[in-house]
DNA sequence: CCCATGACCACAA
DNA sequence: ATTGTGGCCATGG
């Protein structure tokens, strides 16, 4: 199946715009897409991210607590943490340190 | 169309 | 802080 202008593709486009070394939350993306409250759908889209041809930095997307809730959905449970660490993001106990400081809000950063 | 599922979020106790 | 519950809505059977 091809996700052309699907909901997923919409999410992917936002996720791919996340700067290196920054993270955002599912809720923020959902709100940016005008689906505030439907943050589940963002996570759902991420679940399909591995089916996308493009590389989706899903590791830069966490929940509102900065918790690596989706780490088990990666190829390896530790892959998400590894990727974050490689970008200079500190992760301890599956949680991002100084989360609010590296938090990237699409509603503000993109805010057209 | 109805039902189940889901990498979430907000609120109440 | 932890636990439970409802809501959100796209996708698939």
Write out chain A's pLDDT in tens, 112 residues: 444 568 899 999 999 999 999 999 999 999 999 998 899 999 999 999 998 889 999 999 999 999 999 999 999 999 999 999 999 999 999 999 999 999 999 999 886 5
Domain extent listing, chain A: 7-109
Strand B nucleotides, any atom under 7 Å to a protein CB: 6-10
Q: Is the CB of A24 under 7 A from strand B?
A: no
The fold for domain A7-109 equals Arc Repressor Mutant, subunit A (1.10.10)
Per-residue confidence (pLDDT) for residue A93, from 0 to 100: 93
Read off the pTM.
0.91
- pLDDT of A4 reads 56
Q: How far is CA A56 from CA A13, A30, A93, A101, A112, in A?
A: 9, 16, 24, 22, 23
* Residue nearest C11, CA–C1′ metric: A44
């Amino acid at each position: 199946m091809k996700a052309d202008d699907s909901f997923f593709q919409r999410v992917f486009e936002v996720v791919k715009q996340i700067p290196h070394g920054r993270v955002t939350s599912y809720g923020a993306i959902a709100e940016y897409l005008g689906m505030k409250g439907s943050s589940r759908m963002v996570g759902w889209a991420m679940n399909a991210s591995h089916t996308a041809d493009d590389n989706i930095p899903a590791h830069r997307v966490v929940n509102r607590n900065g918790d690596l809730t989706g780490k088990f959905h990666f190829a390896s449970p530790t892959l998400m943490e590894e990727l974050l660490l490689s970008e200079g993001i500190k992760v301890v106990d599956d949680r991002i340190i100084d989360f609010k400081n590296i938090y990237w809000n699409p509603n503000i950063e993109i805010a057209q």
